[in-house]
Chain A
Amino acid sequence: MLLQVRDIHTYYGLSHILFGVSLEVDKGECVCLVGRNGAGKTTTLKSIIGLAPPKRGVVAWRGQPINGRAPHWIAQQGIGFVPEERAIFPNLTVWENLDVARKPSTTGEVRWTVERIYDLFPRLKERSNQLGGTLSGGEQQMLTIARTLMGNPELVLLDEPSEGLAPLIVELIGELVAQIKAEGMTILLSEQNLRFALRLSERAYIIDDGKIQFSGTTQELQNNPELVEKYLAVH
């Protein structure tokens, strides 16, 4: 198992956010973590990357516990994080944004170069010398994903890539994620947009109130409308 999250409890200050979340991601899988706003999706991803270290429980990467390590160390082990707030460096150019993140994988392999990234994201190539802050929301989302790939990670944590984007752009981002997945990338995708998430993933976890409420294949989830109604529908 590439990534194992076992019974983690995470707090922001005094507020208890995650109540024993467990999940697993195997190599080559695309797994989604779906749930409503405030269910704990982002906190789960931040617990894995070390930005919100869990107080209890274990995050194991290739069998070794990594919880409590610094985020940069965890990132260097091959976990890439794409946060939902389009976390680019606004005063660096697009090219500089990519260059900053350049690193080989843990095995020394360089699968993703600027050229390959530009093939996949022609829009970014056009804007190569533009400052990151001048890009549109969708372009910034692409840049964040592209920057993460530059680090040649083995697992990408994608936090709500469709959030706040126009439907056409969401389509485009979906296609890009599908292409990255087709390259053999392992992905843990957090989403509110169920349609978007199910189209890309093989397995799904439903999170609600900081607890995992369902775990199974996307097929099982789709055949279970009560689950969707109970945990995902917006009333």
Chain B
Amino acid sequence: MRQLWQRWQALPAVLQTLVFALVFALLGLGMTDFQLSLVSEMLIAALFALSLNLIMGYGGMVHFGHAAFYGLGGYTVAILTLRYGVPTWLAMGLAPFVAALGAVIIGWFCVRRVRLYFSILTLAFGQLLYTVVFQAADFTGGDNGLLGIPKLPFINSEADFYYFTLVVFFVCFFVIRLLVNSPFVLVLRATRENAERAQFVGVNVRRHQLIVFVIGAFFAGVSGAMIAEHNSLVAVDMFFWATSSEPILGSLLGGMYSLVGPAIGGALLIYLEVTITRFTLYWPLVLGILTVFIVLVAPSGLVGLVRRWLGQSVAEDSA
């Protein structure tokens, strides 16, 4: 098993990513519409968790307002298509940039503070956006959200959307992977370890933090746009702080200090939610127990457990 693992690790990144994508593509052939839709949603949640983990895991910035960028992504698609008649593909292309722009503005303020103060600021900005979207009902649909987002021209079935999601997810995953192994993220990890030390090594800590904040928001915008397109609607809940907590719990469940951990955790949460709500309405209770269990028993998440089993150092960051 370990040998197999080592051989796998020796493969180039592109190949690894392609193997994963191929497995999902083959799985898609045998899935029902319900399963296709579920796995699409899981992949979108995985991307959302990955985007947060850039900021929280690699940057060490605990971020409680990530829903803002998810919401910005989704609402950009909805508003541009429904209010201005912009073609869906263009609206979806613009969505991540709108989210990133939002992050430039919000991040500019937030990175001026550290730790708890940073976290509280992100939460405050997130809730601020939520309230604005909630109140500006004429433009945003308020509590009702916006319904009837047009489908992309090439999507005629659940399977089409599934394969589209696969492409988007794995392209984003590959880019994030490149980033995680780049000098930029190495320096970022140094700032996470000790911001003062990074400073006198010559690192502009705030600038690094702002850049990763914006990159994370960009990918959150992608996932927000994808979920809007998947559901053909956006709801104001996308901005709510509880939405921000989903990728945080996903990262915890999967393992924060790894590349794939948050993706696995984020996807797993969607799966559990959908499966468990079929039997009981008390999904939040199950989620709470699960969270307590992870934090107490496996603080480095599922990936941490696997790594321990493979005999690797748990603190290892790079993929």
Given contacts A72-B205, A99-B183, A100-B186, contact A92 B193 (CB under 8 A): yes
A70 touching B190 by the CB < 8 A rule? no
A100 touching B198 by the CB < 8 A rule? yes
- Cβ < 8 Å to A, chain B residues 149-195: 183, 186-187, 189-190, 193-194
Bound-state CA distance A76–B201 (Å) is 8
Bound-state CA distance A100–B185 (Å) is 10
A91 touching B315 by the CB < 8 A rule? yes
Q: Can you name the residue of chain B whose Cβ is closest to the Cβ of A89?
A: B193
A51 touching B200 by the CB < 8 A rule? yes
A-B pair count, CB < 8 Å, reads 69
- Cβ < 8 Å to B, chain A residues 93-138: 96-97, 99-101, 103, 131
Would you call B313 an interface residue if the criterion is a C-beta within 8 Å of the partner chain's C-beta atoms?
yes
Q: Return chain B residues, CB-CB under 8 Å to A87.
A: 194, 196-197
A70 touching B199 by the CB < 8 A rule? yes
What band does the interface of chain A fall in when counting residues whose beta carbon is under 8 Å from B? Answer: 20 to 34
**Which residues of A are interface residues toward B (Cβ below 8 A)?**
49-51, 70-76, 80-81, 83, 87-92, 96-97, 99-101, 103, 131, 147-148, 151
Bound-state CA distance A12–B305 (Å) is 45
Interface residue count for B (Cβ, 8 Å)? Answer: 20
Q: Map CB proximity to A onto B38-65 as digits: 1 under 8 Å, 0 otherwise.
A: 0000000000000000000000000000
Would you call B202 an interface residue if the criterion is a C-beta within 8 Å of the partner chain's C-beta atoms?
yes
Q: Return chain B residues, CB-CB under 8 Å to A72.
A: 198-205
Given contacts A89-B190, A90-B193, A92-B186, contact A147 B201 (CB under 8 A): yes
Given contacts A80-B200, A81-B200, 14 further A-B contacts (CB under 8 A): A70-B204, A71-B196, A72-B203, A73-B204, A74-B200, A75-B202, A89-B197, A91-B315, A92-B189, A92-B190, A97-B190, A100-B187, A100-B198, A148-B201
Q: Return chain A residues, CB-CB under 8 Å to B187.
A: 100
B200 touching A49 by the CB < 8 A rule? yes
B200 touching A131 by the CB < 8 A rule? no
Bound-state CA distance A131–B193 (Å) is 12
Q: Return chain A residues, CB-CB under 8 Å to B315.
A: 91, 131
Q: Return chain B residues, CB-CB under 8 Å to A71.
A: 196, 199-200
Bound-state CA distance A81–B200 (Å) is 6
Query: Out of A73, A80, A96, which one reaches B186, CB within 8 Å?
Result: A96
Query: Out of B201, B204, B313, B317, which one reaches A100, CB within 8 Å?
Result: B201
- Cβ < 8 Å to A, chain B residues 288-319: 313, 315, 317
Q: Return chain A residues, CB-CB under 8 Å to B204.
A: 70, 72-73
Given contacts A51-B196, A87-B197, A131-B313, contact A99 B186 (CB under 8 A): yes
Bound-state CA distance A75–B201 (Å) is 6
Of B193, B196, B201, B315, chain A has the most CB atoms within 10 Å of the CB of B201
